[in-house]
Homo-oligomer: A and B are copies of this chain.
Amino acid sequence: MSKDKDALVEQVMGELLKKGISLKDKNQSNASGGFEMNDFLNSTSVVPEFVGTREIGDTIGMCIPSVDPTLLDQLHITKRYSVLGILSARSGAGPHIMAMDEAVKATNTEVIDIELPRDTKGGAGHGSLILIGGYDPSDVRSAINVALDNLSRTFGDVYNSAAGHLELQFTARASGACHMAFGAPEGKAYGLICGAPSGIGVVMADTAIKTAGVNVLSFASPAHGTSFSNEGMVHISGDSGAVRQAVMAGREVGLKLLAQLGEKPVNDFPSYIK
């Protein structure tokens, strides 16, 4: 670069700094106290328990082929299995539960624990920790892969804006994950209608229930049925067509209300509830 250009860039940089924009050099972290993890890595090979990741929700899937029995004693699981599957994410509870619902339907595995951290990295909702058990490591790895692959579908009706989010889920036939997490009757249609901030979820629920004849399983709110997330969500069950219609009605009113708080909410993947 010529001297003149350098001077110019220097000047612009100086001007930006005055305006409050701080420039962080890409290599700065290492030079100023960032200690690399490499010291502790014997090799760069991935650990055998690793199954896969998805960028959406910072999701990681793993499988332990033979869990240590003393650890198994300390886990909060509904049934002991020595082969353990793990789906874990920073953002997203509904999407991961729905994805795992498909996975246990498709494989010889069972959901044995669902825990919902208050997370979403500063957002209004949950992350998730889902444990499944099986008899064969290949079954369990397969289930985790099915769940990971389903996330681009089950995130389809998650709509985000700076002020909050909406989540809609629907299945014509609920299985073990929906049953454990939401009390959904297995084999029947199930729908989730959720809005954040939580008050939006109250209006969405009211609209949804009035739209079609469905069974209201429960209503979760910051102090009841959530991990203090800022969500209002109704769980519904019943006839497949009615549940779907109710979910879509809740979505319509939710999108309008959340848009009142600023930007239009957008989804990262195409909507799947039509």
Measured CA separation A229–B23 after assembly (Å): 32
Measured CA separation A126–B219 after assembly (Å): 20
Within 8 A of B (CB), among A1-38: 5, 8-9, 11-13, 15-16, 18-21, 23-26, 29-30, 33-38
Question: Which 4 pairs across A and B sit closest by C-beta, in order of nearness?
Answer: A88-B199, A122-B122, A117-B222, A117-B230
Q: Contacting chain B: which of A58-66, A99-107, A134-142, A172-180?
A: A58-66
The 8 Å CB contact of A19, one of B23, B39, B264, is B23
Give the number of chain A interface residues (Cβ < 8 Å): 114
Q: Judge if A118 is at the interface, Cβ distance under 8 Å.
A: yes
Asked if B260 contacts A46 (CB within 8 A), the reply is yes
13 sampled A-B residue pairs with Cβ under 8 A: A12-B15, A13-B15, A20-B25, A20-B26, A21-B23, A50-B256, A62-B199, A88-B198, A88-B232, A115-B221, A124-B127, A127-B222, A131-B202
Contact code string A212-235 (vs B, CB < 8 Å = 1, else 0): 000010110111101111111010
Q: Which residues of B contact A270 (CB under 8 A)?
A: 35
Min CB gap A122→B, angstroms = 3
Contact code string A193-209 (vs B, CB < 8 Å = 1, else 0): 00011111011011101
Asked if A68 contacts B163 (CB within 8 A), the reply is no
A36-B227 in contact given A71-B209, A210-B68 (Cβ < 8 Å):
no
Contact code string A60-93 (vs B, CB < 8 Å = 1, else 0): 1110100110110111100000001011111000
Min CB gap A136→B, angstroms = 18
Q: Which residues of B contact A23 (CB under 8 A)?
A: 16, 19-21
Q: Judge if A243 is at the interface, Cβ distance under 8 Å.
A: no
Q: Judge if A116 is at the interface, Cβ distance under 8 Å.
A: yes
- Centre residue among A20, A200, A203 by max chain B CB count within 10 A: A203
Q: Which residues of B contact A40 (CB under 8 A)?
A: 248, 251-252, 255, 271
Q: Which residues of B contact A47 (CB under 8 A)?
A: 203, 207, 253, 256-257
Asked if A197 contacts B58 (CB within 8 A), the reply is yes
A227-B223 in contact given A23-B20, A62-B199, A118-B118 (Cβ < 8 Å):
yes
Q: Which residues of B contact A129 (CB under 8 A)?
A: 197-199, 202, 221-222, 230, 232
